[in-house]
Amino acid sequence: MKGHRIDGAAPGRNAGSTASGRGAFAMLAFMSALLFGFVASQAVAGDADLEIGNKLADMLRAGRTVVSASQPLINDPGIGDKGFTGEKLVREAEAIYAERVGSPLLADGISERDRRLIDAQLQAMRRIVDAHQADINRPGVGFKGFIPATFARLVNEEFEAIAGSEARVRVTAPADLVRNRKARPDPWERTIIETKLLASDWPRSQPYTEVVEFEGRPAFRMLLPEYYRESCLTCHGEPKGEMDITGYPKEGGKAGDLGGVISIVIFRLAHARRA
């Protein structure tokens, strides 16, 4: 006896289709779960990269603040040993960081990678200040040239020497404001600065982040805009073209203008150096 047909399909074929459909649905659900898990893991990785990027940037800013506030001491020609050591700078910078951020730099629960990168940055700060003790303590000389911008550049170079396979930090700027050729923006940085950070509708102080290829490796890249404050205009303000204390022509900037960008690279863990 022949079975009933449903929409022209024999019972055997319909049952097979149903089973096949259930299998396909199960496979789709499984693949969706895998995809969701992958996306979720990527989001978590992105959040972790953003967090350490902010920590490195905020600590660099805190170190520059210490160097800036210490300029009268550093440039005092009547004092020899000023006691401005790498350890002193790090202690003061960590205190400034904690006050600004609302939590200590090395909080409980910090990941092994993040602790390693922070330790590398602190080590770089100590090394740079201690390596310049002869200049800082030279009596009879006023302006020493150990200014926040120089400090940041040297610290970032030392940080790369220590932890460059895992992360990079540098300070760049819009191309027409760059004083040191080493600080020129790379093509990616220049594009983002010109099309995003300098755009009139870009939210003030909002960083730009993206996962891109860097030196042949996948990396989380982050640009944090920095704006001229009144204290910056001594060197970067008006009149444009007048030489500042460092021997560079002033840019003619105004308070609130985009004056610099902290650029962070965090290589993805699968490709970074393991401890």
Query: Residue 51's CB: how many other CB atoms inside 10 A?
Result: 14
Phi, psi (degrees; rounded to nearest 5) at 2: -80, 140
Q: pLDDT for 217-239, tens place per residue? A: 999 999 999 999 888 888 888 99
Q: What residues does each domain of the chain span?
A: 166-275
Segments of the chain with pLDDT less than 70: 1-45, 269-275
Distance CA 253, CA 175 (A): 14
Strands 208-214 and 217-227 come out as antiparallel
pLDDT at 270: 54
Query: Token pair 């890249």 is at which residue?
Result: 221
pLDDT at 197: 98
Token reading at 274? 């393991």
